[in-house]
């Protein structure tokens, strides 16, 4: 190590008490993190690309500084989706420092990794106060039955009003409209569960009928005067 002449001419002064890092909550314990291996937890980061045309939610389950599980969810361009596939292969097995310095191809995923890193190294993980954290595979619980990302897709215009396309329950088939032309309910199909039933032997028609449901005041008895296809009408 090289010191400037000015520093070399200084007399030494003894350093005071060594305080060390402040403890942070990790998986139900207070930990003083000195090294990457001291970091554990399950947490999320959200990122966006430079033109802000898409976003990524990245969820990692980290044990002793190493990524054991990754869930990558994106909304945006097709390139971002394929970048997510690469990130899913790249991330597990890396330390969080390696992951932070790895090009995950898409700006949105890189930014999500940065935000997640800040969350977990400052003790702001989802499992900060959960004893022993969450098991590997916890990310699948975020997806729910059918293992599909929960997304909301809504389109609206001043001239023609709102169209619900996909909501928590699933793919929207029909909107129920009342006498004032206001949306009062909708019919949906749970695509994830429908495909699961087809894989398990049900016919497509059986699976569809089983997984169709309604929300709100959908029936005529409840005030619906007409039904519209949000993609066609």
CATH of the domain at 100: 3.90.1010.10
What are phi and psi for residue 33, nearest 5 degrees?
Answer: -90, 110
Q: Do 107 and 194 belong to one domain? A: no
The candidate with the shortest Cα–Cα distance to 112, out of 54, 68, 152, is 54
Q: Do 121 and 182 belong to one domain? A: no
Q: Do 75 and 135 belong to one domain? A: yes
- Tell me how many degrees the CA angle 92-96-98 measures, rounded to the nearest 5: 85
Domain boundary among the residues 121, 143, 165 is at: 143
Q: Do 163 and 131 belong to one domain? A: no
Q: Do 159 and 107 belong to one domain? A: no
Q: Do 157 and 182 belong to one domain? A: yes
The candidate with the shortest Cα–Cα distance to 222, out of 185, 170, 196, is 185
Angstrom distance (rounded) from CA 145 to CA 141: 8
Contact predicate 96/65, CB 8 Å: yes
Q: How many domains is the chain built from?
A: 2
Report if residue 11 sits inside a domain.
Answer: no
Instruction: Tell me which residue range forms the domain holding 45.
Output: 24-143
Residue-by-residue pLDDT tens, the chain, 233 positions: 999 999 999 999 998 888 889 999 999 999 999 999 999 999 999 999 888 888 999 999 999 999 999 999 998 888 888 899 999 999 999 999 999 999 888 899 999 999 999 999 999 999 999 999 999 999 998 887 778 888 899 999 999 999 999 998 899 999 999 999 999 999 999 999 999 999 999 999 999 999 999 999 999 999 999 999 999 99
Q: Do 108 and 176 belong to one domain? A: no
Q: Do 108 and 202 belong to one domain? A: no
Angstrom distance (rounded) from CA 80 to CA 192: 22
């Amino acid at each position: 190590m090289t010191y400037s002449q000015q520093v070399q001419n200084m007399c030494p002064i003894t350093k005071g008490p060594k305080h060390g890092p402040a403890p942070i909550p990790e998986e139900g314990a207070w930990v003083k993190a000195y090294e990457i291996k001291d970091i554990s937890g399950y947490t999320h980061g959200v990122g966006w690309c430079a033109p802000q045309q898409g976003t990524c939610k990245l969820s990692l389950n980290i044990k002793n500084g190493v990524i054991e599980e990754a869930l990558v969810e994106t909304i945006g361009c097709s390139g971002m989706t394929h970048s997510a596939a690469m990130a899913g292969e790249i991330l597990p097995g890396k330390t969080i420092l390696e992951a932070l310095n790895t090009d995950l191809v898409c700006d949105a995923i890189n930014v999500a990794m940065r935000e997640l890193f800040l969350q977990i190294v400052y003790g702001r993980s989802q499992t900060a106060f959960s004893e022993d954290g969450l098991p590997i595979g916890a990310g699948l619980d975020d997806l729910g039955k059918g293992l599909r990302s929960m997304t909301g897709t809504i389109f609206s215009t001043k001239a023609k009003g709102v169209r619900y396309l996909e909501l928590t329950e699933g793919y929207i088939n029909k909107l129920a409209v009342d006498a004032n032309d206001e949306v009062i309910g909708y019919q949906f199909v749970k695509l994830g569960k429908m495909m699961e039933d087809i894989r398990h032997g049900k016919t497509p028609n059986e699976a569809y009928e089983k997984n169709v449901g309604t929300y709100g005041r959908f029936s005529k008895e409840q005030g619906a005067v007409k039904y519209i296809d949000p993609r066609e009408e």
